[in-house]
Amino acid sequence: MSDTPFPAGFLWGGALAANQSEGSYLADGKGLTTVDMIPHGANRMAVKLGLEKRFTLREEEFYPSHDAIDFYHRYKEDIALMAEMGFTVFRTSIAWSRLFPDGDELTPNADGIAFYHKVFTECRKYGIEPLVTLAHFDVPMHLVIEYGSWRNRKMIDFFARYARTCFEAFDGLVKYWLTFNEINILLHSPFSGAGLVFEPGENHEQVKYQAAHHELVASALVTKIAHEVNPQNQVGCMLAGGNFYPWSCKPEDVWAALQKDRENLFFIDVQARGAYPAYSARLFREKGVTLEITDEDAAILRHTVDFISFSYYASRCASAEMNEQNSSAANVVKSLTNPHIARSAWGWGIDPLGLRITMNMMYDRYQKPLFLVENGLGARDELTAAGEIHDDYRISYLQQHIEAMAEAIADGIPVMGYTTWGCIDLVAASTGEMSKRYGLVYVDRDDMGNGTLQRTRKKSFWWYKKVIASNGRDLSSE
């Protein structure tokens, strides 16, 4: 057993998101949301990317979010499992359309508030701190159809009303908030990321960056509101993280990697520093983007986040010769295939040192506490005849990444906590599969929605319980 650099009070836990776990997509007044329109199968990508307009459901298609893993009805059992592992934090999101089914109402749906009140109270019963994302890949469909989603400035006020409702309704239950999940994914998956659907002939960059501006203003505004409602509230931004490595030491490759990093860090630069970065003027000019930014927007942007949260699955790699043919999208962001790192069954890189590199870069850049709110291995699990799951590959992935995070803490970086992704198996955001499993708890459900939904503890469940009990000191797998 090695010593632990994890401070006392370090938050250990796991993460789910409403749209991938709750199901009950129209229960108790909930409205349709973007993810409810994204089918499983061949048409999925075009809809996710905003290239195919889908404003109505099709009978012949299967929509994994509609039932998901039924967290809506099984939250007590699921939170009890988390408590059994010793979680001190549970990250989930609120589905905007449970509180505001259309998104533009003046008053919230009481049933939606009641549901999350029960969930957060259940967490508190076990001493689990909820960490709540306000927007995790779901925008009420009415806002998409009537207003064009985040391309429209009116979204700022709708979102602010929704966020204020959450801060007031859950005051005393929740103090850690995230505004937009993986805000940079708006650029890479515009419909699932931000409800954007493109019209023929449009400059996509213009639409995306104007929408990004509205999200950034909304994020800063709700950060301000969160602090007004309760000065104890702590608000974070959320980046789909992972540094780009240059393919070689050729200066052109190094420059390409720096540019690719900026594409993603642009968002956090604004949220953490309170203004657009110097490089953005040229970026917009070269992309033919002209943003509408008011003086009032610039003033609101100065309300910066309290901490930086991020997901990390793998590092990325770029070269000057990178193009559509030689790159592929692992976790949505396009990258060259780095020959020096291992890969998961879904082709995602496995690079624990990349986590330490990413964390050091982010702290050097922002000097704000970090929170690793997503990390994990999507893998196919097999139930043995005895009903067990021996997921040693997952234990090994998590072990190596927790070790890398420990090194980053030893490097001097303040880290608030760690929530492993999909702590209970859920629907994969990219592919809509159930068979791409991240959980420490297995859920009996297949890609087409068959199964009993029964929960089974995996080998990693017992391992993670020991990790938490020892505050990260004991990472051994035996």
Q: Which residue's CB is nearer to ligand BG6, number 169 or number 428?
A: 428
Minimal distance, residue 439 CB to ligand BG6, in Å: 12
CB 89 within 8 Å of CB 468: no
86/81 Cα distance (integer angstroms): 9
Assess 375 for contact with ligand BG6 (CB under 6 A).
no
Neighbouring CB atoms inside 10 A of 222's CB total 28
Q: Which residue's CB is nearer to ligand BG6, number 38 or number 467?
A: 38
How is residue 17 written in tokens? 């998101």
CB 54 within 8 Å of CB 33: no
User: In the annotation, is 77 catalytic?
Assistant: no
One of 311, 315, 335, 460 touching ligand BG6 (CB under 6 A): 311
303/209 Cα distance (integer angstroms): 20
Minimal distance, residue 311 CB to ligand BG6, in Å: 5
Q: Which residues of 459-470 are buried (b: 16+ CB within 10 A; e: fewer)?
A: bbbebbbebbee
Binding-residue pattern over the window 425 to 454 for ligand BG6, x denoting contact by CB under 6 A: ---xxx-----x------------------
Instruction: Provide the 8-state DSSP code for 151.
Output: G
Binding-residue pattern over the window 123 to 162 for ligand BG6, x denoting contact by CB under 6 A: --------------x-------------------------
Angstrom CA distances, 148 to 58, 96, 143, 197, 213, stand at: 21, 16, 7, 8, 15
Assess 378 for contact with ligand BG6 (CB under 6 A).
yes
Phi, psi angle pair for 86, to nearest 5°: 95, 15
Minimal distance, residue 192 CB to ligand BG6, in Å: 9
Instruction: Provide the 8-state DSSP code for 292.
Output: -
Minimal distance, residue 476 CB to ligand BG6, in Å: 27
Q: Which residue's CB is nearer to ligand BG6, number 92 or number 331?
A: 331
How many CA atoms lie within 13 Å of 98's alpha carbon, on the beta-carbon side?
22
CB 180 within 8 Å of CB 132: no
Assess 36 for contact with ligand BG6 (CB under 6 A).
no
Q: Residue number with the shortest CB distance to ligand BG6?
A: 430
Catalytic one among 22, 129, 374, 433?
374
SS3 402: helix
Minimal distance, residue 472 CB to ligand BG6, in Å: 23
Q: Find the angle CA(310)-CA(313)-CA(318) to the nearest 5 degrees.
A: 95
Binding-residue pattern over the window 213 to 252 for ligand BG6, x denoting contact by CB under 6 A: ---------------------------x------------
Assess 421 for contact with ligand BG6 (CB under 6 A).
yes
- Binding part of the chain for ligand BG6, among 60-68, 194-202, 397-405, 423-431 by CB under 6 A, reads 423-431
Neighbouring CB atoms inside 10 A of 175's CB total 18
Q: Which residue's CB is nearer to ligand BG6, number 188 or number 303?
A: 188
One of 11, 16, 17, 300 touching ligand BG6 (CB under 6 A): 17
Q: Which residues of 183-200 are buried (b: 16+ CB within 10 A; e: fewer)?
A: bbbbbbbbbbbbbbbbee
Which residues participate in catalysis according to the annotation?
374
Residues that bind ligand BG6 (CB under 6 A): 17, 20, 137, 181-182, 240, 311, 331, 374, 378, 421, 428-430, 436
